[in-house]
């Protein structure tokens, strides 16, 4: 009986997709409601093409207008600073208006790009909403990326302005952002007109006029002048943001998110997947720099008038493995969304969940996990200690909202551990073999989504339609390529097992091993290299670099390996977590010269492997096995 509900809704979408999404359009407020719901387009399909609206209006103003101004919109909770700050919808509107005024004062308007390079503070949300208010396009860059990565994004997005904070706070260290921004602008060809700096007391930035301006005084000036721009109506298909994500090359892909379809899809998800009602507290323990932060710290919860927690801290060490329980009990969190790695970190430090008992978690209904494959061990631990359903959901930066999930707001489908359950309305999944033919149940293949993609998914890559077509559309005509491999079981449950490209998932962060190889290849003593992901008990995967040095290099290996590690840290950033490098004499290759990364990975992970038929020199695999075993790989199973 219950099972019917999801099945009915999914079927109603399949029977009449446009009617389904026409009905969902009512979840948001439009200044001009859409009449054309869907338009197929050669460069990429579009939803709600003639609709007009504003994302900031929907996330802020409409709740105040509806009389909910005193409801909490954001709760900033920072164990790093010891501060907890609650911001009502009315207060949020006031701040966003003045910050939009400040942006306008610096010539930011509709269509202009603004890069936001900021930590987990309320001002990051305010910055994004102020851009949305003006129809400007924001691009948030994760603080753990180095200057070179920021520079690539500056050159691609061509921002008029960078909004930043003077520093980020990591356990045990203050990260000054200004030197990173200066270095990035120096490296980039494009030069933004202004850097607007939120000065934090922990480390102030030195500003050089006229390019650099202080946020606080400029916001205050806009307030004093009563410069409070109204929301600018934009087309549903106009870009709201660009979010760069790892692709198969070193150049990140600028995923474009539009306004209308995005908010509709998020409102649908908040209710039907995350089971959150207006006024309830939702906590997505991620970072604004990732898609989870965009969709489920910022836009999703605010679009429905819920309360969203902004957490500046870690699951462990700030101060202990009870941090998550403290936040949830302090703020009456109804649902937590995080990456499995966070739970693995907590479980490692508090295996018996003793700290949970110190807190009242009675308001917590559901735990959602995503960002990487959710291992059954982590689910079992969370279920046993929290005694609530643990819901896996699978999606990507490109889609912006879950492709597969258990729609708890509709009904809780039977949970199968290791599967993010079933396709959400809007998504029809297929698993294809190398000849683009669907495989049978439980057979592994490439996971693809039948076109068109639903509202909210990327319509394009930023000014790179060719890249969009090549990356996602050409390999499987009629389908979108997810880059993941796995299988569907006989009940339509999906199992996502691995990537089909060089992307690895480190602590829930998506990284390209190809881009690390590019950086390493730049080291003067490295002749060639291979980077691959090896299993890690905490982070799921970590990168391992195998380096072949130039002939005649006679410095100690340790010195060169340390330099290689530092190079990746300097050029990609600490987030790459590249700490394992190994010198090898040769790399195993096929006769046509392709490095056999998959085979090396299997050896390093202790998985069964077969000798590739095309291998050039099988003896090299023995050498690799020996070199790996000298650094403790494969790791003993009990460590996992």
CB of 623 to ligand COA, least distance (A): 30
The widest CA-to-CA distance across the chain, in whole angstroms, is 75
CB of 419 to ligand COA, least distance (A): 18
CB of 508 to ligand AMP, least distance (A): 8
- Any idea of the CA torsion for 20, 23, 29, 30, to the nearest 10 degrees? 80
Contact between 80 and 313 under an 8 Å Cβ cutoff? The reply is yes
Q: Which of ligand COA, ligand AMP, none does residue 175 bind to, with CB < 5 to 8 Å depending on kind?
A: ligand COA
* 168, 260, 454, 540: which one binds ligand COA (CB under 6 A): 168
Q: Which residue has the tokens 């700290």?
A: 355
Q: Which of ligand AMP, ligand COA, none does residue 394 bind to, with CB < 5 to 8 Å depending on kind?
A: ligand AMP
Q: In a 10 Å sphere around its CB, with 0-12 CB exposed, 13-18 middle and 19+ buried, how is residue 12 labelled? A: middle
Q: In this chain, which stretch among 87-95, 128-136, 168-176, 548-556 interacts with ligand COA, using CB under 6 A? A: 168-176
CB of 555 to ligand COA, least distance (A): 24
The nearer residue to ligand COA, 146 or 364, going by C-beta atoms, is 146
Q: Which of ligand COA, ligand AMP, none does residue 143 bind to, with CB < 5 to 8 Å depending on kind?
A: ligand COA
Full DSSP string of 499-564: ESSSEEEETTEEEEHHHHHHHHHTSTTEEEEEEEEEEETTTEEEEEEEEEEPTT--S-HHHHHHHH
The DSSP bridge partners found for residue 169 are 174
* 163, 507, 560, 600: which one binds ligand COA (CB under 6 A): 507
- Region for residue 569 given its phi and psi (left: phi exceeds 0; alpha: psi -120 to 50; beta: otherwise): alpha
Q: What residues line the site for ligand AMP (CB under 6 A)?
A: 245, 290-291, 370-374, 392-394, 396-397, 420, 482-484, 496, 499, 505, 510
Of 580, 412, 374, 599, residue with least CA distance to 494: 374
CB of 364 to ligand AMP, least distance (A): 20
Tokens matching residue 11: 């079927």
3-state secondary structure 21-39: HHHHHHHCCCCECCCCCEE
540 lies in the site for ligand COA, by CB under 6 A = no
Q: In this chain, which stretch among 58-66, 258-266, 287-295, 529-537 interacts with ligand COA, using CB under 6 A? A: 287-295
143 lies in the site for ligand COA, by CB under 6 A = yes
Q: Which of ligand COA, ligand AMP, none does residue 392 bind to, with CB < 5 to 8 Å depending on kind?
A: ligand AMP
* 29, 170, 377, 411: which one binds ligand COA (CB under 6 A): 170
Contact between 576 and 507 under an 8 Å Cβ cutoff? The reply is no
Cα dihedral across residues 436, 441, 446, 450: positive or negative? positive
* 7, 175, 548, 582: which one binds ligand COA (CB under 6 A): 175
Tokens matching residue 588: 């195993």
Full DSSP string of 365-427: -EEEE-SS---HHHHHHHHHHH-S-EEE-B--TTTSS-SEE--TTT--PPP-TT---EEPTT-
The nearer residue to ligand AMP, 232 or 374, going by C-beta atoms, is 374
Q: Which of ligand COA, ligand AMP, none does residue 99 bind to, with CB < 5 to 8 Å depending on kind?
A: none
396 lies in the site for ligand COA, by CB under 6 A = no
Q: Which of ligand COA, ligand AMP, none does residue 575 bind to, with CB < 5 to 8 Å depending on kind?
A: ligand COA
The nearer residue to ligand COA, 69 or 168, going by C-beta atoms, is 168
Question: What is the DSSP secondary structure assignment for residue 95, as one 8-state letter?
Answer: H
Q: Which of ligand AMP, ligand COA, none does residue 368 bind to, with CB < 5 to 8 Å depending on kind?
A: none
* 418, 574, 612, 634: which one binds ligand COA (CB under 6 A): 574
The DSSP bridge partners found for residue 461 are 255
Q: In this chain, which stretch among 61-69, 230-238, 337-345, 459-467 interacts with ligand COA, using CB under 6 A? A: 337-345
The nearer residue to ligand COA, 219 or 398, going by C-beta atoms, is 398
Strands 167-170 and 281-284: unpaired
392 lies in the site for ligand COA, by CB under 6 A = no
Q: How far apart are CA 276 and CA 272, in angstroms?
A: 8
CB of 421 to ligand COA, least distance (A): 18
577 lies in the site for ligand COA, by CB under 6 A = yes
Contact between 76 and 118 under an 8 Å Cβ cutoff? The reply is no
The nearer residue to ligand AMP, 235 or 597, going by C-beta atoms, is 597
Q: How far apart are CA 622 and CA 135, in angstroms?
A: 58
- Kindly report the number of other CB atoms within 10 A of residue 238's CB atom: 20
The nearer residue to ligand COA, 164 or 232, going by C-beta atoms, is 164
The nearer residue to ligand COA, 222 or 519, going by C-beta atoms, is 519
Write the CB contacts of 12 (distance below 8 Å, at least 6 apart in sequence): 20, 425
Q: How far apart are CA 368 and CA 406, in angstroms?
A: 10
The nearer residue to ligand AMP, 273 or 624, going by C-beta atoms, is 273
Contact between 399 and 457 under an 8 Å Cβ cutoff? The reply is yes
Q: In a 10 Å sphere around its CB, with 0-12 CB exposed, 13-18 middle and 19+ buried, how is residue 602 labelled? A: middle
508 lies in the site for ligand COA, by CB under 6 A = yes
Q: In this chain, which stretch among 19-27, 95-103, 458-466, 500-508 interacts with ligand COA, using CB under 6 A? A: 500-508
Of 160, 180, 156, 131, residue with least CA distance to 298: 131
Q: Which of ligand COA, ligand AMP, none does residue 139 bind to, with CB < 5 to 8 Å depending on kind?
A: none
Q: In a 10 Å sphere around its CB, with 0-12 CB exposed, 13-18 middle and 19+ buried, how is residue 410 labelled? A: buried
339 lies in the site for ligand COA, by CB under 6 A = yes
Q: In this chain, which stretch among 221-229, 308-316, 424-432, 488-496 interacts with ligand COA, using CB under 6 A? A: 308-316
Q: Which of ligand COA, ligand AMP, none does residue 342 bind to, with CB < 5 to 8 Å depending on kind?
A: ligand COA
Contact residues: ligand COA, CB under 6 A: 143-144, 168, 170, 175, 286-287, 290, 292, 314-316, 339, 341-342, 345, 371, 506-509, 539, 574-575, 577
């Amino acid at each position: 009986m219950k099972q019917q509900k999801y099945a009915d809704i999914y079927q109603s979408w399949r029977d009449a997709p446009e009617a389904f999404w026409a009905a969902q359009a009512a979840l948001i407020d439009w200044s001009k409601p859409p009449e054309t719901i869907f338009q197929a387009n050669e460069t990429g399909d579009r939803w709600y093409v003639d609709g007009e609206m504003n994302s900031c209006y929907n996330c802020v103003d409409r709740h105040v207008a509806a009389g909910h101004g005193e409801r909490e919109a954001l709760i900033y909770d920072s164990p790093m600073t010891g501060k907890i700050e609650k911001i009502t919808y009315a207060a949020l509107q006031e701040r966003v208006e003045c910050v939009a005024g400040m942006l306008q004062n610096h010539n930011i308007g509709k269509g202009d790009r603004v890069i936001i390079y900021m930590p987990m503070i309320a001002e990051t949300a305010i910055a994004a909403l102020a851009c949305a208010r003006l129809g400007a396009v924001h691009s948030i860059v994760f603080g753990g990326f180095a200057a070179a990565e920021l520079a690539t994004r500056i050159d691609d997005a061509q921002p008029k302005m960078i909004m930043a904070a003077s520093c980020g706070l990591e356990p045990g260290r203050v990260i000054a952002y200004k030197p990173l921004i200066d270095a990035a602008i120096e490296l980039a060809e494009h030069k933004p007109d202004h850097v607007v700096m939120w000065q934090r007391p922990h480390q102030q930035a030195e500003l050089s006029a006229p390019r650099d301006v202080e946020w606080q005084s400029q916001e205050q000036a806009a307030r004093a002048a009563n410069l409070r721009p109204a929301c600018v109506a934009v087309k549903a298909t106009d870009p709201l943001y660009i979010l760069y994500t790892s692709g198969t090359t070193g150049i990140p892909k600028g995923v474009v998110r539009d306004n209308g379809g995005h908010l509709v899809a998020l409102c649908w998800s908040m209710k039907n997947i995350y089971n959150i009602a207006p006024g309830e507290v939702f906590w997505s323990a991620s970072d604004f720099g990732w898609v989870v932060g965009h969709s489920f710290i910022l836009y999703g919860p605010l679009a429905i008038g819920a309360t969203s927690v902004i957490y500046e801290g870690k699951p462990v060490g700030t101060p202990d493995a009870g941090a998550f329980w403290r936040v949830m009990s302090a703020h009456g969190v109804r649902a937590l969304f995080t990456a499995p790695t966070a739970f693995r970190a907590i479980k490692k430090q508090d295996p018996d969940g003793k700290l949970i008992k110190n807190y009242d978690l009675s308001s917590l209904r559901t735990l959602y996990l995503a960002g990487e494959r959710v291992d059954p061990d982590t689910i079992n631990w969370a279920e046993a200690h929290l005694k609530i359903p643990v819901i896996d959901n699978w999606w990507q930066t490109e889609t912006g909202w879950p492709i597969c999930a258990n729609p708890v707001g509709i009904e809780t489908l039977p949970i199968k551990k290791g599967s993010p359950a079933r396709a959400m309305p809007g998504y029809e999944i297929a698993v294809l073999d190398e000849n683009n033919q669907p495989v049978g149940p439980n057979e592994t293949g490439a996971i693809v989504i039948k076109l068109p993609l639903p509202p909210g998914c990327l319509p394009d890559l930023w000014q790179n339609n060719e890249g969009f077509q090549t990356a996602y559309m050409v390999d499987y005509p009629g389908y979108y390529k997810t880059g993941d491999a796995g299988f569907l079981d006989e009940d339509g449950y999906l199992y996502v097992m691995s990537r089909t490209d060089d992307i690895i998932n480190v602590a829930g962060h998506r990284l390209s091993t190809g881009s690390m190889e590019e950086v390493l290849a730049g080291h003067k003593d490295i002749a060639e290299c291979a980077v691959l992901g090896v299993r890690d008990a905490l982070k799921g995967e970590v990168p391992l670099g195998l380096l072949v040095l130039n002939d005649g290099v006679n410095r100690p290996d340790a010195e060169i390996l340390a330099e290689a590690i530092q190079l990746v840290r300097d050029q990609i950033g600490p987030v790459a977590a590249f700490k394992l490098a190994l010198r090898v004499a040769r790399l195993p290759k096929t006769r046509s010269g392709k490095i056999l990364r998959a085979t090396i990975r299997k050896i390093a992970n202790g998985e069964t492997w077969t000798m590739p038929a095309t291998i050039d020199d099988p003896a090299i695999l023995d050498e690799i096995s020996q070199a790996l075993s000298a650094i403790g790989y494969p790791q003993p199973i009990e460590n996992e």
